[in-house]
A and B are shown apart, each in its own frame.
Chain A
Amino acid sequence: DTEVTQTPKHLVMGMTNKKSLKCEQHMGHRAMYWYKQKAKKPPELMFVYSYEKLSINESVPSRFSPECPNSSLLNLHLHALQPEDSALYLCASSQDYGQGGGYTFGSGTRLTVV
């Protein structure tokens, strides 16, 4: 298995809703990442988990709450989002944090906040 699987692929939520994005990998990678990508822009790093511990939080608003239940799973809990949070949310993994071989990205969850 050489993939990062993200669910759901599409999500529409209201500003008062609570939802979660899920990411799973079975490559034995020990680092996992959340990125946000707005239209026609490169991905922007949000969070880094290394060995199931939060290593980097790029000053992301608290309405985004990451969770790493185990080495294969990474969740992103969403609450009280704003319309400007609508974007493609990408999960990625790598063998280790900062490993030079490159990251494996999932296909993303396209989020629309209404």
Chain B
Amino acid sequence: GDSVTQMEGPVTLSEEAFLTINCTYTATGYPSLFWYVQYPGEGLQLLLKATKADDKGSNKGFEATYRKETTSFHLEKGSVQVSDSAVYFCALLRDDKIIFGKGTRLHILP
């Protein structure tokens, strides 16, 4: 079945460091791909999305590119801030259902 695999956390970085959170997926066809972010004590917020191969989603300095050849959708940010500390979920939409990865907890140290 369809699935999403993301790197295990927690990931701890210093402020202004470069961030990559890896995400790969298994699915037939071309699902839509998403990154959601969950700040402490809150619900999920859609961070960015891509609906077809080679699309690049971007928001708040974060970027991810839909790579069909490597079935990947890695999340990147050039300079992280303390306020980026949160849990990040990679997800795909397939057959009318969202499938989430297990989440990656990100800690940014000042």
Binding site for B on A (CB under 8 A): 4, 6, 40-43, 45, 56, 88, 90, 92, 97-98, 100-108
Contact = CB atoms under 8 A, between A and B. Distances in A.
B contact face: mostly helix, strand, loop, or mixed? strand
Given A43-B44, A108-B43, A101 B100 contact: no
B43 A105 contact: yes
Given A100-B32, A107-B43, A108-B42, A41 B103 contact: yes
Given A40-B105, A41-B103, A104-B46, 20 more contacts: A6-B43, A41-B102, A42-B100, A45-B97, A56-B97, A92-B44, A97-B96, A98-B93, A100-B51, A100-B93, A102-B34, A102-B46, A105-B36, A105-B43, A105-B44, A105-B45, A107-B42, A107-B43, A108-B42, A108-B43
Given A42-B89, A98-B93, A103 B100 contact: no
Contacts, number: 48
A56 to B, nearest CB: 8
Contact of B44 (A90, A97, A98): A90
Interface residues of B, number: 21
Contacts of A105: 36, 43-46
B23 to A, nearest CB: 13
B50 to A, nearest CB: 10
A98 B96 contact: yes
Contacts of A88: 43
B98 A45 contact: yes
A40 B103 contact: yes
Given A90-B43, A105-B43, A108-B42, A98 B95 contact: yes
Interface string B21-56: 000000000001010100000111110010100000
